[in-house]
Amino acid sequence: MKIGNIKIDIPVFLAPMAGYTDYPFRVLCKRSGAGIVYSEFVSADGIIRENVRTLEMIHFTDEERPIGIQIFGNDPEVMSKATDYINKNFKPDIIDINYGCPVPKVTKRGGGSAALKDLCLMDDITCAVIEAANNTPVTIKMRAGWDRDSIIIPEAGIRLEEFGVKAITLHPRTTKQKYTGKANWELIKTLKQSINIPVIGNGDVTNIADIQKMFEYTGCDGVMIARAAQGNPWIFDQAKSLFDKNHKPKITSLISIASMCKEHFELLVNDKGNSTGMNLMRKHFSNYLKGFPKASIFRQKLVTADSYKNMVLELKAFENYALSSGL
């Protein structure tokens, strides 16, 4: 698979997820085999104002390449300026436009999937970003439409390809559905049959069997993993076996879970400092520690640890349990 001039060996990607796809989590997923990782979605307004927190969200290292920076906004000029700033100061491999976020605080301001209600605005934003991106490939992550009465697939895909978009990721739910109901994979198939650029499927993919089913059913070029990667970066290592029959996925043992927790915690602390790293790690402990004896006990102790020192001690206790359990 290629996006522009970027060759991707394993077309299984880490989706942009607010509050999750920061530098430490992206690195872990990349090390596990993700073909492309994406930043959290960031505000174009925040970028051009050089908001410190916004810029921290899109800082990345060469280890993460190829990496996509995802931006959102409702003003073509602001999106153009943000794209130019990102290109000059960060030099990502891909710039991705968010036309998929269904969260009201974003859509009420005309960002995210609100553009699905106004294809002329989508056209203007897309063209502005492509022009400012110079030779950096521009991709799109979008939903199927605002509601079930306004599905814009494949019309929007055809328009986006004509403008010069290099790939489209489709989450085949509507904005009104948010994350309820079932993702309509038929729309991914329809989009793939309607355009010539790569189509990446997203939605209702929870395991390796789902990844294989999506490829087979829709004919898509790549699959994007979101919530299924939370607490499970190994899903990308497992996905390698779909493309390399000689690859033997690592067994997700209790020891490997403990090791991943420790590595993730250390990356967060090194990146954010003890206090912030500790607080950010709580949600990750909740995702990692499931499905084994005493999981709830260790999860509760780690999530509620009241200091960095105590969190380190509780993590060490979990490591010792993992080593002695034989699981």
Joined tokens for residue 263: 């590595």
Torsion of CA 153, 159, 163, 169, to 10 degrees: 0
Q: Which residues contact 130 (CB under 8 A, 6 or more apart)?
A: 138, 163, 164, 165
Q: Under a CB-based contact definition with an 8 Å cutoff, are residues 43 and 18 in contact? A: no
- List all residues 6 or more positions away from 194 whose beta carbon is below 8 Å from its beta carbon: 153, 154, 157, 158
Position of tokens 């490997």? 256
Token pair 């993730």 in the structure block, residue: 264
Contact between residue 200 and residue 220 where contact means Cβ atoms under 8 Å apart:
yes
Catalytic member of 29, 101, 220, 261: 101
Distance CA 36, CA 60 (A): 13
Catalytic annotation present for 101: yes
Q: How many CA atoms lie within 13 A of 249 on its CB side?
A: 17
Catalytic residues: 101
